[in-house]
Structure 1
C-alpha cells in the first residue's frame, strides 16, 4: 500500500470538505496514508457537530453567509474555524487506524511535527498549547510565543480509518478576523480577539503558498510519500454536492454513496 501526497485546491468550499469525507469512507483503500495539502479557493466557515447544538447556530450561519463565507458542517470534530485563501488546509487520511488510535497521542505527534515546520520558516516561536481565549480551543493547538493561535486540528475516526484535518492561519484577513469574532459571539463562545493572528504577523514574507510548499516537503520526507492527485472519482462525486446552508458534509456523503 502507498503513502500518497496531493496538493492544490480541488474546488469550492463544499467540494474541498466533502472530498476527505468521501475518502474516509473508502473501504479497502488502496493507500495506507493519503495527505492533501491545499490553499482554500474561497471563504469558509467550517462548523462542527458540536456547534450545531448551540441555540445560536442559525444566527451564526446567517452571519457567515452575510460576510461572504460558505457555511459548511465539516466531518471532523472540534469547534468552528473560519479561513480563506490566506490559510493552508491539511487533510491527513490513514486507512490503517481505528478508534483505538484516536486521541491525545495523535494530536501530540502532529502538533510537534507542525511546530518543527513552522520554526523552519523563519524566526517564529512556535509552541504546542492552548492560549487563553482562543477560538476552537484545544490542548494541542499551535501558538506563537504563547500569545496567538496559528494552527488548529480536529479528528474523525471510523471503521475505515481516520481523518486528521488541520488549518494553518498564514495571513488572517480583516474579514476572517471579523467572522471568527461575530460567529463565536453568536454561538456563545468566549473569545479573546487578540488571540487571532497568522504567521505573516511574525514573518511578513510568508504567503499561504510558501507555507503549503513547506508542509508538502515535510510530509514527503517525513512519511516517505509519493506525489499524487486527489482521486478522480472522489473529485467528480464531491463536485456534485449541493445543499442548503449550513451544508452538512456527513449527511450528504451518507445520502450520496459513491460507487467505483
Structure 2
C-alpha cells in the first residue's frame, strides 16, 4: 500500500491561475492527510508571476498591461521575491511541508534547496551550475543558481505561515524570445535594474536539454532524496482551484484563497 503521507505530484493543471492557486490552497487546507507534498510541472501557459513586493511599485499597472499584451497571464503568487516570467520552456517546483514553521524560514532552507538543485543540474550534462547571485539578474537572490557565474537559470522564493511552508522554484530550461522580452520590459516598468545577458536557460549551455527531461530528473531526485511517493493532488484542493474566476489582473492568489478557503470535509 502506498504511503500518501509524503506525496510527489507531477503535471500542470493547464492554467497559470490554478497552477499558482493550488500551492496556496494546499498551504491553508484544513485537515490535510499529507505532511509533505512536492508538485513538479512544466507550465502550459505563458506566465508573469508577480510578488507582493512588485505590487508596491508605481509601475505595476503598466507592467501588467505589458505582460498581458505580450500574451502572458499575470498572477501575484504566494511566495515572495520579485517578478519572474516563464512558459513551457521552464520547470516549476512547489515544495510544501506542514511540519515546518517560521523557525525554518531563511537562508538555511534556501541554501539546502539550492545545493540539491544545483547537483541535479550538474548531473544533466555539461552544465556548470553554481549557487549564487550574478550581477544584474532578475529577481535577485543570494541562492539563485547560475551557469558559469554568468547567467541565472534558477530562482526560488518562500512563504511560511502558521500551517507550514511553501518553497517555490522556477528552473529556466529553454528561454523563448517572448520570455526574454517580457522579463526585460516588465522589469523596466517596475523600475528594476536588469542586465539582459543575465537571462538564460539551461539549453543555452546544453542545447539538447528540454523541459520534460529536466522535470523527470527533479522527480527522480525528490523520490530518491526525500522518499516521496507518486500520487495525485488532493482531490478537494484540485477541484476547488478550478472554481477560480479572476475578476481583475493581476490575479492575487493569496487574496482569493483567503476569501475562498477549501471547504471542510
Q: Considering the TM-score relative to the shorter chain, is it more than 0.5? A: yes
Which residue, out of 202, 207, 222, partners 1:204?
207
Gaps spanning 5+ residues in structure 2: where? none
CA distance in 2, matches of 1:22, 1:226: 21
CA distance in 1, matches of 2:6, 2:75: 28
> What is aligned with 1:253?
257
Structure 1's consecutive aligned runs of 4 or more residues displaced over 6 angstroms after TM superposition are none
> What is aligned with 1:139?
142
TM-score calculated relative to the size of structure 1? 0.99
1:1-260 superposed matches below 5 A: 2-243=5-246, 244-259=248-263, 260=265
CA distance in 1, matches of 2:210, 2:138: 22
Secondary structure of residue in 2 paired with 1:31: coil
Secondary structure of residue in 1 paired with 2:158: strand
Deviation at 1:27, TM superposition (A): 3.2
Deviation at 1:28, TM superposition (A): 4.1
CA distance in 2, matches of 1:242, 1:50: 24
Deviation at 1:41, TM superposition (A): 1.1
CA distance in 2, matches of 1:31, 1:239: 21
Gaps spanning 5+ residues in structure 1: where? none
Q: Deviation per CA, 1:131-163, whole angstroms, max 9, x where unpaired?
A: 000000000000000000000000000000000
Secondary structure of residue in 1 paired with 2:20: helix
Secondary structure of residue in 1 paired with 2:139: coil
TM-score calculated relative to the size of structure 2? 0.97
Deviation at 1:93, TM superposition (A): 0.1
Does the 8 A contact of 1:27 with 1:160 survive in 2? no
**What's the Cα RMSD here?**
0.8
Q: Deviation per CA, 1:99-125, whole angstroms, max 9, x where unpaired?
A: 010000000000000000000000100
